[in-house]
């Protein structure tokens, strides 16, 4: 079964029942913030994933309806909705993967850091509950600002004595999804064959796509690479502006979140060579957290991969992002220890 499953590590096979769910281990996935703009389509996509046996949908309101709706889809997992803090423990207990899209999204004119004051507290309290009810789950942090919420989670887990750097992930998959889409358009190559690593963090210039390593090779001129880099860095803002006050990316984020959670589940199940970019504890640079390619395995992070060869433009981008990324990391650490 694992041999067959390994063929479907590619991101395009979401929900495809290409192998029997009976041969797959039981896996519980919890989504915190499941009734939100990301949470609802993400709940549906995780319901379509044959690696999930139990799907736990938690929010402060609205989850009974979302759970009833999604539960009618005729796929493997059993779905349960949980609402309000008193049900959070039950929602989390036994989870293998916890996905967190809880918190407020941006409006036009805001930076992700402007969300810190509200979302930092939400993430902190959810991570306290994770420490208590499912301390060995893999945590997929979507809530912004990811550059700060991941360090907050790490500090909360350290205080609870359960921190394992292999189990905490900032979800930066949407940056990769965007870089692949934009590159395929410019390079005029089939998007399903495209790979582009995106490193650094998840906000503005801290998002650093490595188009020099993009495949298939296209030898795009420098001005096009610069424009592609800027569009990838501003992808979130492009959606925020288009939604004109009605939030940020939800559908593409749900897709990206489902891809990343699927990769985590495959890693847990022992599928070899599952590699995705993620914002994790890292020694790739001098910064304590950094997004780069990560090999996923039975314990979460199996290996944080290095950056590879960078172009001069990427080297400059890397140096310019470090002060902002470090400040966001330190802000998260300080908040968690107040």
CB of residue 234 to ligand LMR, shortest distance in Å? 9
Answer yes or no: is 142 a known binding residue.
yes
Q: How many residues bind ligand LMR (CB under 6 A)?
A: 11
Residue closest to ligand LMR, measured at CB? 236
Answer yes or no: is 36 a known binding residue.
yes
Q: What is the rounded end-to-end Cα distance, in angstroms, of the chain? A: 48
CB of residue 207 to ligand LMR, shortest distance in Å? 8
Residues 140-199 binding ligand LMR (CB under 6 A) are 144, 174
Query: Does residue 328 contact residue 202 with C-beta atoms inside 8 Å?
Result: no
Answer yes or no: is 308 a known binding residue.
no
Q: Nearest Cα to 192, choosing from 53, 3, 11, 5?
A: 11
CB of residue 99 to ligand LMR, shortest distance in Å? 15
Q: Tell me: cis bond preceding 216? Omega within 30 of 0 counts.
A: yes
Answer yes or no: is 112 a known binding residue.
yes
Q: 76 contacts which partner out of ligand NAD, ligand LMR, none, CB within 5 to 8 A by kind?
A: none
The binder of ligand LMR chosen from 239, 263, 268, 271 (CB under 6 A): 239
Nearer to ligand NAD, 49 or 63 (CB): 63
Answer yes or no: is 120 a known binding residue.
no
| Footprint on this chain of ligand NAD (rule: CB under 6 A) | 32-33, 35-39, 59-61, 101-106, 115, 119, 122, 126, 142-144, 146, 171, 174, 202, 247-250, 253
Q: 38 contacts which partner out of ligand LMR, ligand NAD, none, CB within 5 to 8 A by kind?
A: ligand NAD
Nearer to ligand LMR, 96 or 113 (CB): 113
Residues involved in catalysis: 202
Known binding-site residue numbers for NAD(+) = 33-39, 59, 119, 142-144, 253
């Amino acid at each position: 079964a694992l041999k067959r499953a390994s063929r479907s590590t590619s991101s395009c096979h979401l929900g495809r029942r290409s192998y029997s769910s009976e041969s797959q281990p039981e896996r519980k996935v919890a989504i915190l913030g499941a009734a939100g703009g990301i949470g609802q389509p993400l709940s549906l996509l995780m319901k379509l994933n044959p690696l999930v046996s139990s799907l736990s949908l938690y929010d402060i309101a609205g989850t009974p309806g979302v759970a009833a709706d999604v539960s009618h889809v005729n796929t493997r997992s059993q779905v349960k909705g949980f609402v309000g803090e008193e049900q959070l423990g039950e929602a989390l207990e036994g989870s293998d993967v916890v996905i967190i899209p809880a918190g407020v999204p941006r409006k036009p004119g805001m930076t992700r850091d402007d969300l810190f004051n509200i979302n930092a507290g939400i993430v902190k309290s959810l991570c306290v509950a994770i420490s208590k009810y499912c301390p060995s789950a893999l945590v997929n942090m979507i809530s912004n600002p990811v550059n700060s919420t991941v360090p907050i989670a790490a500090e909360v887990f350290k205080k609870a004595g359960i921190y394992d750097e292999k189990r905490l992930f900032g979800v930066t998959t949407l940056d990769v999804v965007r870089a692949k889409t934009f590159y395929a358009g410019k390079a005029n190559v089939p998007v399903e064959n495209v790979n582009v690593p995106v490193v650094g963090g998840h906000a503005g210039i801290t998002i650093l796509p490595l188009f020099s390593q993009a495949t298939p090779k296209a030898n795009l001129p420098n001005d096009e690479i610069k424009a592609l880099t800027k569009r990838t860095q501003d992808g979130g803002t492009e959606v925020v502006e288009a939604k004109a006050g009605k939030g940020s990316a939800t559908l593409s984020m749900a897709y990206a979140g489902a891809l990343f959670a699927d990769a985590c589940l495959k890693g847990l199940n022992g599928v070899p060579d599952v590699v995705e970019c993620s914002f994790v504890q890292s020694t790739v640079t001098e910064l304590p957290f950094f997004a780069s390619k990560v090999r996923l395995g039975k314990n979460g992070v199996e290996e944080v991969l290095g950056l590879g060869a960078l172009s001069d433009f990427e080297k400059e981008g890397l140096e310019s992002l470090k002060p902002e990324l470090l400040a966001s990391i330190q802000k998260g650490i300080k908040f968690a220890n107040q």
